[in-house]
Amino acid sequence: MSLYDKAFINSELSKPTSIFGLRLWVVVGIFVGVIIVLLLFLLSLCITSRRRNSPSNKRKKKFEQTQTLTTAVSKDIQEIFHHDAIAAVDHRLPVPEIQIDLGKSEHRVVFSDRQSSGESRATSIEAPSCGGGSSVPSLPEVSHLGWGRWYTLRELEAATNGLSDENVIGEGGYGIVYSGVLGDDTRVAVKNLLNNRGQAEREFKVEVDAIGRVRHKNLVRLLGYCVEGAYRMLVYEYVDNGNLDQWIHGEVGDVSPLTWAIRMNIILGTAKGLAYLHEGLEPKVVHRDIKSSNILIDRHWNAKVSDFGLAKLLCSESSYVTTRVMGTFGYVAPEYACTGMLNEKSDVYSFGVLIMEIISGRSPVDYARPQGEVNLVEWLKTMVGNRKAEDVVDPKLPEIPSSKALKRILLVALRCVDPDAQKRPKMGHVIHMLEADDLLFHRDDNRSR
């Protein structure tokens, strides 16, 4: 190229253009740079797509997804299942995550059941409409625990008229109890647990585990249960004469139908039921909520201990179990209330308070009474210490017991509520004292005749 040509090219490249007044060689340089950047970007996209489609990368991605899914499932398991060594139950029971929005009249339950794929589904169930259209899979009638029967939700709805308010026979902190009649005309009491996976779930597990296999005439028999969706129901034998609280504190007129003999029979039957729980089972069962409303009465005035929702299992090698203090105010043993250390002597204290309640017709704590009579235990101790034992008897009692029979039963009650738990008798010993008292009562009754 000649010098003339070079000079011509340089002059042309140096001329300003219409693009922001830039010289031509600057515009050409920018254009070339943009083309190079685009080529590099396309090249990087090709390389990245090849790496993603490579077999090794596919295996790595699949492994990471598997690990993520496993982690999610393990978190769900930890969240749903409550590993309580005392209140454990068969691991095969399906326990979905439960959120309950339950009103007494509507009984509407909302729950989410975690699927194996890690996805969740939300379902709204209204109790009366459950059954054929429910998305919950049907469960077998035969119990997986080896006892009782696994009832379906449809069966229990039919038995209780769709969990009707007219069938309600009792309400507690964790459930509503309905009367019902099964298809074979068996009368039952159905307890529908209301709370979510907290206390109600533990209550369900404890009741099933504690009394599922128990057979004793002074304990309410658990016939079976229902585990379907978010529902947890317990099916009991029906006891047809109310509970002790109704007969002592209810409207029964000026003269109570509970004669002295009937009251002694109720006390003895309750003692035998507790003795079986404490000394006839392994592990032993501590009821933890002995009170008059949990003592059911049949048509022959026999006592049946019910409501094992707060029960704890105590192994023979353990002298006590430390747990959160629960029970009913006025019945709870002082050492349990202060330390949370629970054993069968806690039930013995509650039983002693129950005896005082049966004899006197008074509530364990009654703020409507004068200051010195608010606490039943302290008042009765004071009355006995002042030699006024006859004045503690229920004024509605149709007959006055003999002085010896009254003093003996009060002595049993006072020993059961001894502030020192070690000095309280075992329930087996209590039965011996009560049976001796029973014989003494019959002798005095024959003499009076």
DSSP secondary structure letter of residue 265: H
Which one of 237, 263, 297 terminates a domain? 237
| Same domain, yes or no: 440 and 295 | yes
Confirm whether 289 is a catalytic residue. yes
**Of 209, 289, 437, 438, which is the active-site residue?**
289
Instruction: Answer whether residue 282 is part of any domain.
Output: yes
CA 279, 206, 332, 434 torsion-angle sign:
negative
* Residue finishing a domain among 175, 202, 237: 237
Q: Residue 438 has what pLDDT?
A: 54
324 and 433 assigned to the same domain: yes
Strands (E), 27-100: 98-99
Of 184, 207, 237, at which residue does a domain stop?
237
State how many domains the chain has. Answer: 2
> Which of 192, 197, 209 shows the shortest CA–CA distance to 90?
209
Contacts of 213 (CB under 8 A, 6+ apart): 147
Nearest to 103 by CA among 86, 127, 79, 132: 127
pLDDT in tens, the chain (449 residues): 665 566 666 666 676 777 767 777 777 888 888 899 889 888 888 888 777 666 556 555 544 554 444 344 333 333 323 333 333 334 334 433 333 333 333 333 333 333 333 333 333 323 333 333 333 333 333 344 445 678 999 999 999 999 999 999 888 666 889 999 998 999 999 988 876 555 556 666 666 766 676 788 999 988 888 888 888 888 989 998 989 999 999 988 899 999 999 999 999 999 999 999 999 887 888 888 899 999 999 999 999 998 876 677 776 666 667 777 777 889 999 998 888 888 899 999 999 999 999 999 999 999 999 999 999 999 999 999 999 999 999 999 999 899 999 999 999 999 999 999 999 999 999 999 998 755 444 555 555 54
CA distance 46 to 274: 79
CATH number at residue 415: 1.10.510.10
Are 322 and 392 in the same domain?
yes
Task: Report the DSSP pairing between strands 284-286 and 222-228.
Answer: unpaired
Residues 436 and 396 in one domain: yes
Domain containing 185: what range? Answer: 98-237
Verify that 206 and 223 share a domain, yes or no.
yes
Distance CA 150, CA 212 (A): 12
CA neighbor of 389 nearest in space, from 431, 358, 360, 354:
360
What local confidence, expressed as pLDDT, does residue 298 receive? Answer: 93
User: Per the confidence metrics, is the pTM higher than 0.75?
Assistant: no
